Structures are given as C-alpha cells and as structure tokens.
C-alpha cells in the first residue's frame, strides 16, 4: 500500500482507520448480507447508522436538545441559498461579514434569493484579497438583522475567526465547512452552523447543519419542501433519500474522533501541526512569506509565498515527486497552501516541514 501525504484543500484526507473500516464493511455491513449503500433508508440497519451520526455530532460538541442536527445534500453551497430563503423576512435584511471568497459567494446568493436585503456589515477585502479577520469595532451591525453570517475559516486565504463576534441578540450563522470540529466550541453562541463534510468530517455532497429549534420554528414555510428546515427537522433528515453512504462515512469519522479522545484531543493535534508549520515559516521570513496577519492565521489552511512564482512552481513539482500532494494555493491567491484538516497527521506535517528545509537549502 502506498498512501501519500495528502494536503488537498477539499475533498481532503480522511483518517486511514476510517477508510479501513469502510473497506472491511463494504461488501457486507454488520452481518446484514449487503453493503450499507444497498439498504433502505427506512430500514433498521441504516436508521441505526443515521441516528448514531446525529448522536455523535451532539455528543462531541456537547449539544443539547435545543438544536436540530441535520444531514442534507447540496454541500455548503445549498446552505448559501437555504439560509436566506428561510430566514430573511419580506423587506427585512441579514448581515454578512466578508472575509474571503466563500463569504462573498454566500452573500451574493443571499442577494439573489433572499426576499429582503443582504447587507455587508464588514469586509476586510482589498481588491479581492483578504489577509485578516475584522475586529469587533469594525463591524457595522444592524440590530434589526434577521441574522449575521460569518465564514469561520477562510479556506482560500488561510484566515480564521479565533473568537466569534458579539452580535447582541441577533442570531449568528456560520459556514464552518473548513474548520468544523477542529476544536471544542460553544454551539449555543450560534443560531445555525453548517459545514460541507468534505474537509473535516467525511466525503463531499453532504452538509451537516446544526440549527436552533426556535429558529426552525420561525423559518419561512413558503419555500420548496426540499429546502425547508422545518420539513427536514420534522423528518429527521429522511424527508427524501439521504446520502446514506456519505452519512455512514461521516458516522465513521465521528466514531473515530470519539475513540481518539474527542475534540479536545483533536484540538491538541491541530495546534501541534499548525504550530510547527508556522514556526518553520517564521524562522525564515526572507524565504517563506506568510501574507496573513498573525492573529488571523488559520490552523486549517496555512498559506505562504516563496520569493518568486518560478520557485513556487518548482516547490510544487518537487513536493509532488516526494509524495507531498495538494499544496498548490487557490487560483485567486497563488502560492502554497498546506491544508492541515483533522485527518492530516503530525507525521505528514513534519514531512512537509522537512521538505521545506531541504528546498530552502538547495534554492
Ligand atoms: C469548501 C467550502 C465550501 C463549498 O462547499 P460545497 O460542499 O462545495 O458546497 C463552502 N464554504 C467553505 C468555507 C468551504 O471551505
């Protein structure tokens, strides 16, 4: 077997034991004579997996019964539409804080499909480039907004909210696609959280949504059934045929996360990985240039530049030849991006650091 060091930004690395479990159970799931994909979504075998995925999400995050946990299709991008369609009242408005390409997309979609306004309450972008998270004092929040939307980690630019904004009484909604469960956090600060599964908790095409029940009750009903939080909550994410295999894989990731010691242990590992990589960058600022403001640095996507684009090209080619893949920065920013999601090991991180030293010495 030749697994290589995978730093893909998404879909991204999955824990090896999770893949091995899926391989063992692929042909026959839990003595049932068929794979999980071949089971009815209304049958007992699948239902146990489905409910375990929901229960583990709640357990790992310490969430009580005041939130609905949903597993929906359409990834994070469908949530860009469902949130404004459900929560912006006619003639009302919602606030968006722009910190990167994904928050721009969420805001644009809200402008398109919301039945009111989608304001920009703050933006740290300059000519489409973002290098920091705004301070509380920079937020121009509307106390009458239906919600405030943030992107907790900016996958393209490598910035991350390390403490969440104070929105007064206005529900905070977060796209946590690229840092969901990177550490324990207080879910009760949020009206809604959503995340595409493919960075930290599973395969693509699946989104996990945590939404406060009192918000679900207030959600607009004049939306298509398939886009209705009320219906998905009432039907326990079984209104339509869900992505059963995706949810099974997410269940395996969550069960493995629990086995490791839960989110406190995941945080310890993530801080060790990101800490080591940023230390390597900072030790050589003439060669490795980190464009992101220090306080805003992401623990999940570490972005840096080399002295020239030519060197960056060579770095990426040499890295690939060494079995270090997925390091190319997003097309909007260029440079190098090392994605250190939950499933990326300290060993892989050390391999990339060793390669950086070697490349530096030769350059
Ligand atoms: C990857 C990503 C998305 C897009 O997810 P899809 O599942 O492709 O819709 C949205 N937001 C953030 C922050 C992301 O990192």
Q: What is the tens place of the pLDDT at every residue in 251-268?
A: 999 999 999 999 999 999
Whether the predicted pLDDT of 60 surpasses 70? yes
CA of 205 to the centre of ligand 1 (A): 10
Whether the predicted pLDDT of 332 surpasses 90? no
d(CA 357, CA 242): 46
Whether the predicted pLDDT of 299 surpasses 80? yes
Task: Give the pLDDT confidence score for residue 331 in this predicted structure.
Answer: 84
Matching CATH topology for 17-260 and 261-362? Answer: no
d(CA 306, CA 330): 15
Domain ranges of the chain: 17-260, 261-362
Residues with CB under 6 A from ligand 1: 10, 75-77, 102, 151, 155, 175, 177-178, 196, 199, 204
Model pTM? 0.98
Task: Give the pLDDT confidence score for residue 1 in this predicted structure.
Answer: 62
Residues tagged active-site: 102, 175, 199
Alpha carbon of 339 to those of 86, 182, 198, 328: distances in Å? 32, 12, 12, 10
Average pLDDT value over all residues in the chain: 97
Task: Give the pLDDT confidence score for residue 216 in this predicted structure.
Answer: 98
Task: Give the pLDDT confidence score for residue 86 in this predicted structure.
Answer: 98
CA of 201 to the centre of ligand 1 (A): 13
Q: Among the CATH numbers 3.30.70.20, 3.40.50.10800, 3.40.640.10, 3.30.70.360, which is that of 17-260?
A: 3.40.640.10
The pair of three-digit structure tokens given for residue 300, joined into one six-digit string: 């999940």
- List strand residue ranges (DSSP E) for 251-353, in order: 301-304, 324-325, 336-339
Task: Give the pLDDT confidence score for residue 333 in this predicted structure.
Answer: 83
Task: Give the pLDDT confidence score for residue 48 in this predicted structure.
Answer: 98
261-362, which class in CATH? alpha beta
**CA 118 to chain CA mean position, Å:** 22
């Amino acid at each position: 077997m030749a697994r290589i060091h995978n730093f893909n930004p998404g879909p991204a690395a999955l824990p090896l034991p999770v893949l091995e479990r899926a391989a063992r159970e692929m042909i026959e799931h839990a003595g049932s004579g068929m794979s999980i994909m071949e089971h009815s979504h209304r049958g007992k075998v699948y239902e146990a997996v489905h409910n375990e995925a929901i229960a583990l999400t709640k357990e790992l995050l310490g969430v009580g019964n005041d939130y609905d946990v949903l597993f929906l299709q359409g990834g994070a991008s469908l949530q860009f539409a469902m949130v404004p369609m459900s929560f912006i009242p006619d003639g009302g408005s919602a606030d968006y804080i722009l910190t990167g390409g994904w928050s721009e997309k969420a805001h644009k979609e809200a402008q398109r499909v919301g039945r009111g306004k989608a304001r920009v309450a703050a933006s740290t972008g300059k000519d489409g480039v973002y290098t920091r998270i705004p301070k509380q004092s920079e937020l121009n929040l509307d106390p009458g907004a239906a919600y405030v939307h943030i992107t907790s980690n900016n996958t393209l630019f490598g910035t991350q909210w390390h403490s969440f904004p104070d929105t007064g009484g206005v529900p905070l909604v977060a796209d946590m696609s690229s840092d969901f469960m990177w550490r324990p956090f207080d879910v009760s600060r949020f009206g809604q959280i959503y995340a595409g599964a493919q960075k930290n908790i599973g395969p693509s095409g699946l989104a996990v949504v945590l939404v406060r029940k009192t918000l679900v009750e207030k959600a607009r009903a004049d939306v298509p059934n398939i886009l209705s939080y009320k219906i998905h909550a009432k039907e326990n994410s079984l209104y339509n045929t869900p992505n059963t295999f995706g949810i099974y894989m997410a269940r395996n990731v969550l069960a493995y996360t629990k086995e490791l010691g839960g989110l406190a242990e995941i945080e310890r590992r993530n801080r060790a990985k990101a800490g080591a990589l940023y230390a390597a960058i900072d030790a050589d600022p003439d060669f490795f240039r980190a464009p992101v403001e220090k306080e805003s640095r992401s623990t999940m996507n570490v972005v840096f530049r080399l002295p020239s684009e030519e060197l960056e090209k060579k770095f990426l080619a040499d890295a690939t030849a060494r079995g270090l893949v997925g390091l190319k920065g997003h097309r909007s920013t260029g440079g190098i991006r090392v994605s250190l999601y939950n499933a990326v090991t300290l060993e892989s991180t050390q391999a990339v650091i060793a390669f950086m030293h070697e490349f530096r010495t030769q350059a």
